[in-house]
Amino acid sequence: MGMSVRAPLLAALVVGTSLAVAPAPAAVAAPAHPAVLPAGPVAAPAADAATPEVTSVPVGPEPDGTAVRLDVSVWPQASGTHPVVLLAHGFGGTKDSMATQAAELHDRGYVVITWSARGHGRSGGRIHLNDPAYEIADARALLDLAAKRSDVELDAAGDPRAGVMGASYGGALGLMLAGADRRVDGVVSAITWNDLADAFFPQAAVTAPPTTAAGRAPVATPGPFKQVWATNFFLSALRGGSAGGGADAARCGRFDPTICRLFVQASETGSPSAELTTLLRAHSPKPTMNAVTAPTFLVQGVGDSLFGLDQADANASALAANDVPYAVRWSDGGHDAPSTHEAEELDASYAWLDHFVRDKGPAGSGGSALPTAAFTYGTPATRPGQPTTLHTLPAYPGLSGATLQTRSLPLSTTSGSLVHPPGGQPASLIAVPGLAALGISLSTYQIAALPGQSAALDTQPIGEAATVVGSPTLRLTVTSDTQDATLFASVWRVTGGSVTLTNPLVAPVRVAVTPGRPTPVTISLPGAVYDLPAGTRWRVLLTSTESTYSNSRVPSGIRISDASALTLPVAVGTAVSGGAVAAGLDVETLLAAGALVLLLLAALVGALVRRRRRRHLPSRPDLADVPLVVEGLVKTYADGHRAVDDVTWRAEKGQVVGLLGPNGAGKTTTMRMVMGLISSDSGTVHVLGEPVSAGSSVLARVGALIEGPGFLPHLTGRQNLEAYWSATGRSPEDAHFDEALDVAALGGAVDRPVKSYSQGMRQRLGIAQAMLGLPELLILDEPTNGLDPPQIAAMRPILRRYAETGRTVVVSSHLLAEVEMTCTHVVVMHAGRVITAGPVAELVDSDDMTILDLPEHTEPAVVAAGVHALEAADGITEVRVDTPTRVVVTHDRGRAEVVAAAVAAGLPVVGVSSRRHLEEVFLGVISSASGGGAPGEPGDDGSSLVERLRQVRAR
């Protein structure tokens, strides 16, 4: 359960903690095979001291009596005796995850032991989640193993000089091992938990009266279920293979069946059973922290949405109560993203072990004279991609800032109302775990503060800049019409008209109340390091739902009142020099982040994967001035249907290109490949010379509406456009909202929720959204769907004027008459192939065809007599009455002579043209094509469909 903070430190420590990511290596997925490992507990020393010894160590059996052996590697020292370090991997990893870290520790003079934890890799058994009777007992057996080695230093008989180091799953093991076994002399524990029940069912610190208004003690209820993290944590074990057969194994992978059952129940109900709560708390450092005597270094991530600063704070409080030497470092990395100070974190961790384990250095008194700063934190970077600026304090202040100055920040808004919607949907989107690791930010105020489901409490502008270190607190009164009220608190910065999330964190708050009775509470906001520039304002956003948590399905109404000023712990630390900035993300971080995004944004992750697969496509400088070039696209679906077959065409600047054809012609599939939404079997798409695949940067220059618009129903039309643009990360000034809203032509409805819109209103808003930023290439799939005739007519000049500015518009439609009136060029598709392309005028014009317009109310008998006479004239091959006032003549003589012959035949001609409707031409082609032969194949008359088109035009 974890993600790397650094390739050497927390990548190696947490490597496998990638939750429900790509399939694990074969060694992870397979059950243990003890037969392939040496039989004895210790293998013969390796010839090369830097080469690990591989051994199989017997440990306690499973509850059903199944024998278990651990897959272990030992990095020995060639001579003398040395301290030992047990290096524990993260959830889902193996001992191989730790190889680089083990080699570095070996070089510092340690004997190093790594192992695949029970239920992981090639070790036997099932996953018990750091059960004291299993995983922790296994680690104690490894201390026994170390005590028997000739190269390990002993403090006493059977007592090796030992340190333990790990992160997340391995970090909790280190703390629990130190609490269970006094032989541990030093601990480095990173991004881990104190109480696993509180971690998965978190509850922000809440202070309420000792009794309710009815005189009853408030009921202690668990916080809302951290559904996304818990689900991925569970799925990771399923991907790791099973420890046996049967249905339970298929459902539970290598999890212990009891744990599996309890987690499944929690996922279904959204709350833990008493049995699960008891189990999770027992499988945590909390019960034995009072027994830890080993000096301990705690590293925790400020932006970690799995195990927040509150978990490290609880561990630190227990160590302080025992007067155990400890130090705390708040990293800007964690389970959600890598740290920007990887090197310093590694150096500090090694220094801790060197001082207390290897060199047996003094502890000092009260936690002083430590080998690293007692408390280190980073202030936020001033620009994206920059490292945080590190600061230190002589003592750890805790989240409450007990040793810090406090500052009061008055509120200008002190009340608000919100509802919890029936079914808990739609849910606010505030913090998506793992997106930061992919460099993606989707958290916008519009999709976090859903109308009716949020209340905003604003502060006065900040007069003097400050740095908040810890948890701001806020007193308020909650009134609900149900017995408990659940809120999610987040902190936003307001600068001018911009509202940005300060940290990707939420603090869930569940308060037991008496329905209708005001209940005063004090809540703690997410613990973090906050930068407060002068002149800005803070906004505390309270929402009734959050997308990464399970949400109650019972509707309720909640009122917030009497909110007090924010109380802020303010720090002025000593700045220290920074170190190397992370050059990139390790594989495990990307995989873990990808797994979480897969749950909420499956299409986006799939697109990124496809982008990586196809990013080798070269640029085409020769096409740099061509907005769109499609070459040889082929797409065949799994059922064998070839939807697109060798499609090639292009769109030039200033053109409005119509991609037309009947339903099923392959238009939308082509559009989706053009936008990189699906991959082609073969062929390429280039926009302005750059190859297109999912996530291509050149797509920022393209606006699109494919397969209809999608909006958040509770936001207004304007808010949806603003949220969409905000997610692009571009300046609001570049959006051209006014031009887009003119296109939407929604009037006052633009400020109504989209859920009240008709289909046509949604469609117009979708077209406006595609036009945001005035992209160089605009792609619209069936843009007239849902529009009435006046709206369709109003859209035509808008698209033409847009192209006349030097941009390009591509319109897909099956309404050929509309394409003819809107487009300058067409690409005609039928059954997956392009049958012709070119200017509209060229396609519908014909030298051997004349169209005669007659007056309205012309007598049918007059028309019939004139047609009969005209048919007998020389050079006339066909005369057809198209409408009562329109006669189409096919001929091989001059047009003037045809008109003269028609007048002589008694037809009252009032207009002459050579232009047929595009729809007439196309329907003739389709009718001919249906007579035999597939597109591009010989028909009964031996001609291709393209040739049939020529024949129809010549009729």
Nearest to 539 by CA among 448, 624, 600: 448
Q: Are 451 and 715 in contact (CB under 8 A)?
A: yes
- pLDDT: is 369 or 344 the higher one? 344
| Predicted local distance difference test score (pLDDT) of residue 611 | 39
Determine how β-strand 702-705 pairs with β-strand 777-781: parallel
Cα–Cα distance, 138 to 377 (Å, whole number):
34
Which tokens go with 420? 């919890």
Within the chain, what is the greatest distance between any pair of CA atoms?
Answer: 126
Average pLDDT of the residues in 381-404: 81
What is the total residue count of the chain?
955
| Predicted local distance difference test score (pLDDT) of residue 955 | 41
Element (H, E) at 556: strand 556-561
Q: Are 951 and 849 in contact (CB under 8 A)?
A: no
* DSSP state, residue 632: E
Which tokens go with 753? 């929720």
Residue labelled with tokens 């037309």: 660
Cα–Cα distance, 384 to 381 (Å, whole number):
7
At residue 307, the 3 state secondary structure works out as: coil
Contacts of 247 (CB under 8 A, 6+ apart): none
Q: Using 50, 70 and 90 to split pLDDT, how confident is the model at 921?
A: low
Q: What are phi and psi of 234, to 5 degrees?
A: -70, -45
Contacts of 899 (CB under 8 A, 6+ apart): 850, 852, 909, 912
Q: Does position 710 have pLDDT exceeding 90, yes or no?
A: no
Torsion region of 16: left, alpha or beta (phi above 0 gives left; psi -120 to 50 gives alpha): left
Helix, strand, coil shares of the chain as percentages rounded to 5?
A: 30, 25, 45
Give the number of other Cβ atoms within 10 Å of residue 876's Cβ.
20
Q: Using 50, 70 and 90 to split pLDDT, how confident is the model at 409?
A: very high
Determine the Cα angle at 701 with ends 696 and 704, to 5°: 90
Q: What is the dihedral of CA 679, 684, 690, 693, to 10 degrees?
A: 0
Nearest to 277 by CA among 315, 269, 78: 269
Cα–Cα distance, 67 to 72 (Å, whole number):
16
Residue labelled with tokens 């604003």: 458
Q: Does position 23 have pLDDT exceeding 70, yes or no?
A: no
Q: Are 630 and 646 in contact (CB under 8 A)?
A: no
Number of H helices, E strands in the chain: 26, 41
Mean pLDDT of the chain: 80
Q: What radius of gyration, in Å, describes the C-alpha atoms of the chain?
A: 35
Q: Are 437 and 592 in contact (CB under 8 A)?
A: yes
According to the per-residue pLDDT averaged within each range, which of 182-191, 334-343, 880-889 is highest?
182-191
Cα–Cα distance, 900 to 907 (Å, whole number):
10
Contacts of 446 (CB under 8 A, 6+ apart): 712, 715, 719, 720, 722, 723, 726
| Predicted local distance difference test score (pLDDT) of residue 856 | 87
- pLDDT: is 98 or 608 the higher one? 98
Q: How far is CA 754 from the centre of its chain?
A: 24
Q: Does position 51 have pLDDT exceeding 90, yes or no?
A: no
Is there a common fold for 7-201+283-393 and 617-842? yes
Nearest to 348 by CA among 569, 165, 123: 165
Q: Residue 486, CB half-sphere, CA atoms under 13 Å: how many?
A: 23
Which tokens go with 272? 């833990």
Q: What are phi and psi of 513, to 5 degrees?
A: -135, 170
Structural domain 7-201+283-393, CATH architecture:
3-Layer(aba) Sandwich (3.40)
* DSSP state, residue 386: P
Torsion region of 70: left, alpha or beta (phi above 0 gives left; psi -120 to 50 gives alpha): beta
Q: Are 48 and 96 in contact (CB under 8 A)?
A: no
Q: Are 192 and 175 in contact (CB under 8 A)?
A: yes
pLDDT tens for 56-91 read: 999 999 999 999 999 999 999 999 999 999 999 998
Cα–Cα distance, 424 to 413 (Å, whole number):
26
Average pLDDT of the residues in 884-909: 86
Q: Using 50, 70 and 90 to split pLDDT, how confident is the model at 503?
A: confident
Cα–Cα distance, 724 to 652 (Å, whole number):
28
Q: Are 415 and 563 in contact (CB under 8 A)?
A: yes
CATH class, 846-954 region: alpha beta
Residue type, 411: L
CATH class, 405-570 region: mainly beta
Alpha helix stretches (DSSP H) within 567-635? 587-600, 602-614
User: Per-residue DSSP letters for 310-349?
Assistant: HHHHHHHHHHHHTT--EEEEEES-SSSS--S-HHHHHHHH
Q: Under CATH, what is the fold of the domain 617-842? A: Rossmann fold (3.40.50)
Q: What is the dihedral of CA 841, 844, 847, 853, to 10 degrees?
A: -110
- pLDDT: is 182 or 46 the higher one? 182
Alpha helix stretches (DSSP H) within 805-912? 816-822, 840-844, 860-871, 895-904
Burial letters 333-364, b for 16+ CB under 10 A, else e: bbbbbbbbbbbbbbebbbbbbbbbbbeebebe
According to the per-residue pLDDT averaged within each range, which of 375-389, 401-415, 791-805 is highest?
401-415
Cα–Cα distance, 46 to 112 (Å, whole number):
14
Nearest to 933 by CA among 920, 919, 947, 921: 947
Cα–Cα distance, 931 to 809 (Å, whole number):
34
Distances in Å between the alpha carbon of 801 and those of 161, 776, 797, 806? 79, 13, 6, 9
Domain definitions of the chain by residue range: 7-201+283-393, 405-570, 617-842, 846-954
At residue 107, the 3 state secondary structure works out as: helix
pLDDT tens for 55-64 read: 999 999 999 9
- pLDDT: is 502 or 128 the higher one? 128
pLDDT tens for 99-119 read: 988 999 999 999 999 999 999
Nearest to 336 by CA among 589, 591, 714: 589
Cα–Cα distance, 169 to 129 (Å, whole number):
8
Average pLDDT of the residues in 665-693: 89
pLDDT tens for 442-496 read: 557 888 888 889 999 999 999 899 999 999 999 999 999 988 889 999 999 998 7
* DSSP state, residue 460: P
Cα–Cα distance, 751 to 768 (Å, whole number):
15
| Predicted local distance difference test score (pLDDT) of residue 204 | 58
Residue type, 5: V
Residue labelled with tokens 């974190």: 345
| Predicted local distance difference test score (pLDDT) of residue 914 | 66
| Predicted local distance difference test score (pLDDT) of residue 898 | 85
